[in-house]
Structure 1
Amino acid sequence: MSPSLKMASGLLGRATRQLAAVEAIPSSRTIPILRSTMQCRSYAQAQRPRCQNAPVSFIRNQFSTTAFRARAKTMGQLRQRNSTGPFSWKAAALFILTGAGMMLYFRVEKARLERKRIAEMSKGVGRPKVGGPFVLKDTDGKEFTAEDLKGKYAFVYFGFTHCPDICPDELDKMAEIIDKVKEATKDDKLFLPVFITCDPARDTPQVLREYLKEFHPDIVGLTGTYEQVKHVCKQYRVYFSTPRDVKPGEDYLVDHSIYFYLMDPDNDFVECIGRQDTPESASKVILEHINDWKREGRPLKTE
């Protein structure tokens, strides 16, 4: 090779090595650009919201099979969880109690609506009205009218003091009913028991007073003339048969209906209690009507 070609080849190799060295070392302009790019990337990562991945992490931790198995410490716990699932014994007990409570509520409400329907039917057009205006006298000889029954629940019975068996039995039952209702309501003035004689010729105010105090002091005794008693019996649809003209001292019996009539504070008939009813069943019916009245917020006169 000629000397000139050797010199050219050496210069070319030297230039190539210097160019490679220059490309390997960043220049003074390249370093700031790289530094700025890295700072921007770090700032963007710092400003990214941390909660961005929170839903994914929460779902993974709460609902993944790995997390579920991790919370079970033993195989027995894992089998128990697999058998019960999300329906625990506490949830089952709460479900049963709620269902039982709803059934009880609807049963009570249905009975209340049925009582209200029957009471409204008794006031309907074309049906015989039970009760109405009357004027009688109490055991003190004072005038007593149907207006005196309003504002409280009246419990009216028709009988006579010379009754040998039925009236005493029914008045004993009335006395038990009075005590049960008073004990349940804690109110002495809410319930008004009334005894109306069907034998005005013998049952004077004084006779009624002495007779009724043997049963219960709260029973209000009422009497009057024969026509007044006949009128009030007709108002309450009570059958009775009493000799109109009886000689003094003559003994006789009076045939009459055997029912208690429950009247609401508006003096409307709501229930009839018969001989087949016990003091417990009768007082239960009376208290149901009283509670229905109170639940509706309707006024009562207890003074």
Structure 2
Amino acid sequence: MNRINKPSAFASVAIALSLALAGCGGASGPTQEPPLAGAAIGGDFTLTDSKGETVRWGDFAGKYRVVYFGYTFCPDICPTDMQRVAQGLKALKASDPDKAGKIVPIFITIDPERDTQAVVGEFAAAFSPDIVGLTGTPQQIDAAAKTFKVFYAKGEAQPGGGYLVDHSNVVYLFGPDGAPIATLPTDKDGKAVAAELARWVS
């Protein structure tokens, strides 16, 4: 296991609030203030997609954004989280295609040393063709992680070569204006993710 949940103290409180509220409300839209309203999470970045094109946060303006930081060599947590995000989006697309069409899921690597453009593209596509895989220089990734309050640190070398990366595994939902809304319950299942998306996307 290589997960370490070490977001900031503020983010920890916000995440706890969002998890506590995850079972409230219905699919008709928000009935209260989003758990992460006003949080200083997210913002501008400059990264690269699987085609080698420059991608900025502003390119997704007008869309709800599901953002997850992880890495493709992750042995357990990242694939599970991404699978549940994909399952949630698929379920929402089946029940409410209009809402699903307003969402862009984004995977950002925290291991640019190994996660090239092609690698992040293949990883993202393995879960859903809708997921945008992004990488960048170590400096660009570090800046983006700080902006999104994501912790990560390269671990010790493993027997036989390679290494793991310790990281927080929070899945954020942002609104069309780029403001944070809530976290998604990927610790549960795809149905729970779909329900949370349906709750906040309007």
**TM-superposition CA deviations, 1:150-203 (whole Å, max 9, x none):** 211111111101011111111111110111122233246311011000000100
Query: How far apart in 2 are the matches of 1:117 and 1:223?
Result: 29
* Alignment correspondent of 1:204: 116
> Do residues 280 (structure 1) and 198 (structure 2) align?
no
TM-score, with length taken from structure 2: 0.78
Tell me which stretches of 4 or more aligned residues in structure 1 moved more than 6 Å.
none
Tell me, yes or no, if the aligned pair for 1:181 and 1:191 is still in contact at 8 Å. Answer: no
In structure 2, which of residues 44, 48, 57 is the aligned counterpart of residue 133 of structure 1? 44
| SS of match in other structure, 2:92 | helix
- Equivalent residue for 2:82, pick from 161, 165, 171: 171
The AA in structure 2 aligned to 1:112 is P
Q: Specify the structure having the higher radius of gyration (Cα).
A: 1
Letter of the 1:266 counterpart? D
Alignment: residue pair count: 172
Identity of aligned residues (%): 34
Partner Cα distance (2:117, 2:127) in 1? 16
Give the Cα separation in 2 of the matches to 1:189 and 1:145: 20
Q: Kindly report the root-mean-square deviation, in angstroms, between the aligned alpha carbons of the 2 structures.
A: 2.2
Show the counterpart of 2:106. Answer: 194
- Please give the secondary structure, in 1, of the residue aligned with 2:164: coil
2:12 is matched with none
Q: Which residue of 2 aligns with 1:161?
A: 72
Kept after mapping to 2: 8 A contact 1:173/1:279: yes
Structure holding more helix per residue: 1
| Deviation of the 1:250 alpha carbon | 5.0
Aligned to 2:132: 220
Partners of 2:53 and 2:177 lie apart in 1 by 22
Q: CA deviation at 1:213?
A: 2.0
Distance in 2 (CA, whole Å) between partners of 1:242 and 1:253 is 6
From the superposition, tell whether residues 275 and 180 of structure 1 become closer, same or farther in structure 2 (CA, over 3 Å). closer
Deviation track 1:12-65 (CA, whole Å, cap 9, x = no partner) reads xxxxxxxxxxxxxxxxxxxxxxxxxxxxxxxxxxxxxxxxxxxxxxxxxxxxxx
Q: State the TM-score, normalized to the length of structure 1.
A: 0.53
Q: Return the letter of the residue paired with 2:90.
A: D
The answer to whether the 8 Å contact 2:88/2:192 transfers is: no
Q: Which residue of the partner structure matches residue 231 of structure 1? A: 143
CA distance in 2: counterparts of 1:118 and 1:220, whole angstroms = 25
Unaligned runs of 5+ residues in structure 2 are 1-24
Counterparts of 1:112-123 in structure 2, within 5 Å, are 112-114=30-32, 116=33, 118-119=35-36, 122-123=37-38
Residue 221 of structure 1 aligns with an amino acid whose one-letter code is G
Query: In terms of mean alpha carbon deviation, does 256-265 or 175-184 score higher?
Result: 175-184
In structure 1, the partner of 2:178 is: 267
- Residues 182 and 191, structure 1, Cα contact 8 Å, conserved in 2: no
* Structure of higher RCO (CA pairs closer than 8 Å, 6+ residues apart): 2
Richer in strand (by share): 2
Asked whether the 8 Å contact 2:85–2:186 carries over to 1, the reply is no
